[in-house]
């Protein structure tokens, strides 16, 4: 039996730990994991294991993966904990601090990444890069915002329109990725984790039909694929299946995070990329901010709508959604505090900003993109783009477009770390990009940007 540990949501005194048991024909017996500091033993009860049966679609002979989430309470704020199984599997996470550290202290660090294709990182570069991060730059929290698996690759091969075949094939892709012991698994074990989905957790252009995936041409084929893919997303990328695809929130001092999934409940057509209930929560969060906000979405906000052809045969951008995108833009322009957008998807990294409101202390919108961490295919990468010259990129009635500024962009495989401190009553952010392919002499190459005050 093999064990995988992934820290998920954390609070100041609580953490959720996702555990998977692989290669076992039945539920593991009652067990425990050790927690340090403190030397506590955390119970892993047999009755809480659930079989990964892919909503019943997986052949019973292949149901040898079990998962559960263990909630660990009575923790100390701003403390680094290590959990360890009897077999030696480890994971490490810091609990949330009550406030942001002051400038000059170890920062609160968020690792941002998207678009990881394990087939193009079989050497485990991303794991080695994470191990080589300087101790003071290791993540408190990871935000993995989409395309952590590519269930629809290779797209030029025929996918049998059979739920059992899809379940077996898709599960094997999750296991190859999550189980890459010296690679992706190192990333998963390091710091708390918040996942969001994008199209390749399902298929390109989900939930609309994909040009070269014949399973998606008919409604029943799309529903069959969705059923299988969503079941695996819930089992592997959520600490609580009932919350998969819904917003998650946490605060660190005056900095508030809102993690919005813009794919799981995306509707067909060009209106809504979130459920209306979740979207209302997002707008209320913007309106109620007491300090800077960090908004996670699956695709960039600084992005022109895709044209007729690419918006139907490739994938729609958020700006293609004619109902919710203008509503979101209006809400952003009404914000009383600066907002940071964290996102991925587009196969390049970029930092750009615009002014939402001018004045002695301007209110700004800053967007940080990290994509890809491992490019799926060189035909869809290798080129970066500046942000559109104005935001919103197309005019919206009643709004004056604001000029944008692009600070940095790269088309290399990368992930980003964002380091937050407090300085003179403001949140200061430093962004650094890391390049897993550039590993040499015990170090990983990186590029640091000038600080940004939010």
What integer pLDDT is reported at residue 370 of this predicted model?
98
Asked if 117 and 32 count as a contact pair (C-beta separation under 8 A), the reply is no
Per-residue model confidence as pLDDT tens digits over 309-359: 565 567 899 999 999 999 999 999 999 999 999 999 999 999 999 999 988
The Cα angle at residue 228 between residues 226 and 231, in degrees rounded to 5: 100
Please name each of the domains of the chain with its CATH number.
1-96 (2.60.40.380), 97-453 (3.60.21.70)
Identify the pLDDT of residue 308. Answer: 61
Q: What is the pLDDT of residue 361?
A: 87
Mean pLDDT by 10 residues, the chain (454 residues): 95 97 92 92 95 97 96 96 93 97 96 97 95 95 97 86 96 96 95 97 94 89 96 97 96 97 95 97 97 98 83 82 97 97 98 93 96 94 95 95 97 97 94 94 92 96
Q: In this predicted model, what pLDDT tens digit does every residue of 394-442 receive, in sequence order?
A: 999 999 999 999 999 999 999 999 999 999 889 999 999 999 999 877 8
Helices 163-178, 219-237: inter-axial angle, 10-degree rounding: 30
Residue 40: Cβ-neighbour burial (10 angstroms; 0-12, 13-18, 19+): middle
Question: Residue 280 is inside which H or E element, if any?
Answer: helix 276-287
How far apart are alpha carbons 351 and 360 in whole angstroms?
Answer: 23
At 15-36, the pLDDT tens digits run 999 999 999 989 999 889 999 9
How many CB atoms are closer than 10 A to CB 227? 16
Q: Which long-range contacts (CB under 8 A, 24 or more apart) does 74-80 make?
A: 74/13, 75/12, 75/13, 75/14, 75/15, 76/13, 77/12, 77/13, 78/12, 79/37
* DSSP conformation letters of 346-396: SSSEEEEEEEEE-SSS-EEEEEEE---SB-S-GGG-S---PPPSEESSS--
């Amino acid at each position: 039996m093999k064990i995988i540990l992934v820290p998920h949501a954390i609070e100041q005194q609580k953490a959720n730990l996702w555990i998977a048991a692989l290669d076992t024909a039945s539920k593991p017996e009652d067990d425990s994991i050790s927690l340090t500091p403190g030397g506590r033993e955390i119970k892993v009860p047999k009755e809480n294991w659930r079989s990964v049966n892919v909503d019943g679609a997986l052949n019973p002979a292949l149901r040898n993966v079990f998962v559960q989430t263990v909630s660990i309470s009575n923790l100390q704020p701003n403390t680094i904990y290590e959990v360890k199984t009897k077999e030696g599997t480890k994971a490490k996470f810091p609990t949330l601090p009550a406030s942001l550290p002051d400038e000059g202290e170890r920062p609160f660090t968020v690792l941002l990444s998207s678009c990881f294709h394990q087939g193009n990182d079989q050497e485990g570069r991303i794991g080695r890069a994470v191990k080589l991060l300087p101790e003071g730059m290791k993540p408190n929290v990871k935000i993995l915002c989409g395309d952590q698996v590519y269930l629809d690759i290779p797209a030029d091969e025929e996918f049998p329109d059979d739920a059992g075949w899809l379940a077996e094939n898709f599960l094997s892709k999750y296991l190859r990725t999550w189980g890459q012991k010296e690679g992706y698994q190192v990333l998963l074990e390091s710091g708390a984790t918040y996942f969001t989905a994008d199209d390749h957790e399902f298929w390109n252009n989900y939930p609309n039909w994909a040009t070269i995936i014949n399973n998606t041409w008919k409604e029943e084929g799309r529903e069959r694929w969705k059923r299988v893919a969503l079941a695996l997303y819930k089992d592997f990328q959520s600490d609580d299946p009932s919350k998969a695809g819904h917003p998650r929130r946490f605060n660190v001092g005056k900095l508030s995070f809102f993690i919005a999934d813009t794919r799981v409940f995306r509707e067909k057509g060009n209106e809504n990329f979130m459920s209306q209930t979740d979207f209302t929560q997002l707008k209320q969060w913007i309106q109620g901010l007491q300090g800077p906000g960090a908004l996670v979405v699956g695709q960039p906000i600084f992005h022109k709508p895709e044209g007729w052809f690419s918006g139907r045969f490739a994938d729609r951008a958020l700006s293609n959604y004619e109902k919710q995108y203008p509503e979101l833009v209006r809400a952003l322009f009404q914000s009383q505090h600066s907002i940071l957008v964290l996102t991925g998807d587009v196969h390049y990294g970029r930092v750009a900003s615009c002014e939402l409101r001018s004045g002695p202390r301007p209110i700004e919108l800053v967007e940080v993109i990290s994509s890809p961490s491992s490019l799926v295919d060189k035909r869809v990468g290798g080129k970066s783009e500046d942000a559109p010259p104005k935001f919103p990129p197309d005019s919206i009635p009643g709004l004056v477009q604001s000029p944008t500024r692009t600070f940095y962009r790269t088309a290399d495989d990368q992930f980003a770390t964002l380091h937050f401190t407090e300085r003179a009553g403001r949140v200061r952010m430093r962004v650094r990009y890391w390049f897993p392919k550039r590993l040499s002499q015990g170090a990983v190459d990186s590029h640091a940007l000038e600080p940004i005050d939010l």
